[in-house]
Structure 1
Amino acid sequence: MRLLVIFALTATLVGAAVPFDYAPLDRRQSPTTTSTLSVGSTVTDTTSSTPSSTATGGPGKAGLAWANENSVDIRQFEVTGKVTWYYTWSPHALRNSGWGSSRNGNTKLEFVPMLWGNRSLTDDLSTIEDVIRSNRTSGGVKAVLGFNEPEQPGQSNFSPSVGVQLWLDHLLPLASKYPGLRLGTPAVSSGPQGKAWLQSFFQECAGRCNVDFVAMHWYGINPDAFIAHLWDYHYTFSNFTASKTLWVTEWACHNFVSNEQCSQSDVNAFLNQTQNFMDETEWVERYAWFGAMRNLQGVNPENALMDSQGDINSLGRQYVDASPDQSLRSGTIGLGEARLSYLIALHIIFSGLGFIVLGLPW
């Protein structure tokens, strides 16, 4: 865009008039999860595994694992009503100030904060409380996610005993302070070490942790193995939580074991089968596909729900259940839509001297 700057009088401009924020909030490192192409100890008996449809199925389950901050318009994913919530691997909701905030700061999606680990507990807990008190997200904060892959050296990385102590010292008091606030377990990876960590966590909790739901991750290329893994977690952990439900806060068609990866058609079919299963299964409460970002951080890029400009793509439309001809534009200009012509007028008073910046279309 050409900028024509007209100064009323010659003056020296100091400081930035418009804040720009392109940095994602993602605190998550590149995934190190072990893929479960063959599930070792999962329950594979499907005699009673016919999904049951209840009021918890379908609408309200789909969410976004969001690492774009305000650089991408999140509202294009909420037009159909399929997606109802998001999280950022952090305690930070999308901000109400800065570049792009006029879009994302007004999202209707429910925000779910996460206490990622023990690196900055005081600041993160303070931020979570600020978000709860400000009530600036749609409907307020209803749940908080526990730590991110604590069994993984590249993630929050601590023992179950440390996790239990952190939980009792910080998360449980948070839920006591704000009645009705729900707590999700530390989200473990889908490898055997993830399940073992969570089993030890509940054993050491000894009924003291008051967990509401189990959060979990899964990566692999076999949708049947994914479904078997969910059944295994349901049977193993449901009696340890108040709601007896699962949140799948990361999953994608990606192989961390070998170089065999899903094609785009494989990803489409994988998403279709696994999402339908979760929508129709009452004990799967919520889920968030790993793909709502422009850079998938080492995960197969065919899983992306948007293109490199941040615009929702065909897989994203599938995820939000959009009809082929349905417009998902929110009516505002996104950061990735600089190709559109537009006019910006800005009048600044600086030491009594004004200037006007006019943006003219290409």
Structure 2
Amino acid sequence: MRSATTVAVLATATSILADKVSLDSSKRGLCYVKGENAADDAIWDNANGTLTWYYNYQAQPTSGIDDRLQFVPMLWGTNGQNSGFYKTVKGLMDGGRKIEYVLGFNEPDGCSNGGSCINPQVAASMWRTEIEPLKELGVRLGAPAVTGSPQGFTWLENFFAACDGGCTADFIPVHWYGNFEGLASHMGQVNASYPNQTMWITEFGLPQQSAAATTEFFNQSLSYFDRTPFVTHYSWFGAFRADVSNVGPNSALLTSKGQLTNMGASYVGLTEAEAAKASSASSTATIAGWSMFVDTGIALRYLDARLHTFIDL
């Protein structure tokens, strides 16, 4: 699973995203959410180079994710006491792992739905202790990722005011859940507020909408990010199965059986166009509605997606 990936796919006509999304964006990453099925992690290893980085809301990398994906540690939250984040990240670097970026607090202005609920003054103090010193090690620092609400802007302003020049963020992470027009407008506001900063879209989606509406938003957003110079990284919120999705089944990149959806296949770069050029079989990806030969580097298997089963060859 950790070898180079080439997939020979006998695709059905259900691959509707082939020419709508850039296939080789170096900006594209994985917002990893740990699920109950560890085998799902292998799907992200088989991204054929389309995914280049990932984060998991933690300081330590996920053992099931291929090291070829660049890991970005996050200090999710704080209780006002030393978290050991700096020590952990430095330890990873001392151990030979390449750490170029870290992410600050996750939705600190929110106290529900995954928000870390931190006072801006407390966050500023912890940043100076745990995050700012990483700059001396050559690490680029991501500001706290606030929600897409007006209170997010206010929180971030108060945070930087409390820092009093002691928090030197290199880029601004953005979260957005809503339609494309709102996303573009929100990004414009962020860019106007922090014009000298690049932007990472670390969570985005269109929750609880139809498959057609979600697909349209997906296509519009990725295309916009890929052609916007100040956006350097992005990650769709949906790297989990449809039956456990808290943003609706149509936002998930995996079906309830752990297969890539059409949108998921497109996100990791598996399309009809690529399949037509492939000359040999490889990697264990499962794509809803498709059949394929899969070579894990250990054994050749045939996946019949209609039967949802593997056959060892």
TM-score bracket relative to the smaller structure: 0.7 to 0.9
Structure with more helix by fraction: 2
Q: How many residues align?
A: 260
**1:224 Cα shift?**
1.1
Aligned-residue CA RMSD (Å): 2.6
**Which structure 2 segments of 5+ residues have no match?**
1-23, 276-280, 285-294
> Which deviates more from structure 2 when the two are superposed, residues 205-214 or residues 269-278?
205-214
Query: Contact between 1:145 and 1:186, CA under 8 Å: does it hold in 2?
Result: yes
C-alpha separation in 2, matches of 1:288 and 1:134: 27
**Corresponding position: 1:60 with 2:32:** no
Contact preservation (8 Å) 2:253, 2:261: yes
1:113 aligns with one of 61, 68, 73:
73
Worse-matched range after superposition: 205-214 or 313-322: 313-322
Preserved contact between residue 64 and residue 83 of structure 1 (Cα < 8 Å): yes
**CA deviation vs aligned residue, 1:285-332 (integer Å, no higher than 9, x gap):** 111100011255421120011122333221112223432263783533
Equivalent position SS for 1:250: strand
Q: Is the 8 A contact 2:245 2:252 kept in 1?
A: no
Quote the Cα distance in structure 2 between the aligned partners of 1:71 and 1:174. 34
1:85-234 to 2 correspondences below 5 Å: 85-95=53-63, 101=64, 104=65, 106-119=66-79, 121-136=82-97, 140-154=98-112, 155-176=115-136, 178=137, 180-220=138-178, 222-234=179-191
C-alpha distance in 2 between matches for 1:122 and 1:187: 18
Which of the numbers 237, 249, 254 marks the counterpart of 1:301?
A: 249
What secondary structure sits across from 2:49 in the alignment?
Answer: coil
Q: Give yes or no for contact 1:77–1:312 (8 Å, CA) kept in 2.
A: no
| 1:110-136 per-position Cα deviation (integer Å, ceiling 9, x unaligned) | 010101111584344443233222234
Cα distance change, pair 303–157 in 1 and its aligned pair in 2 (3 A): same
Partner amino acid, structure 2, of 1:166 = M
- How far off its partner does 1:170 sit? 1.2
- Whichever residue aligns with residue 146 of structure 2, its letter is V
Unmatched 5+ stretches in structure 1:
1-57, 96-100, 255-260, 344-362
Match of residue 40 from structure 1: none
Percent sequence identity is 34
When normalised by structure 2's length, the TM-score is 0.75
TM-score by length of 1: 0.66
Matched with 2:237 is 290
In 1, distance between residues paired with 2:238 and 2:183?
Answer: 17
Q: Partner of 2:102: helix, strand, or coil?
A: strand
Q: Distance in 2 between matches of 1:308 and 1:107?
A: 26
In structure 2, how many angstroms separate the alpha carbons of the residues matched to 1:190 and 1:172? 24
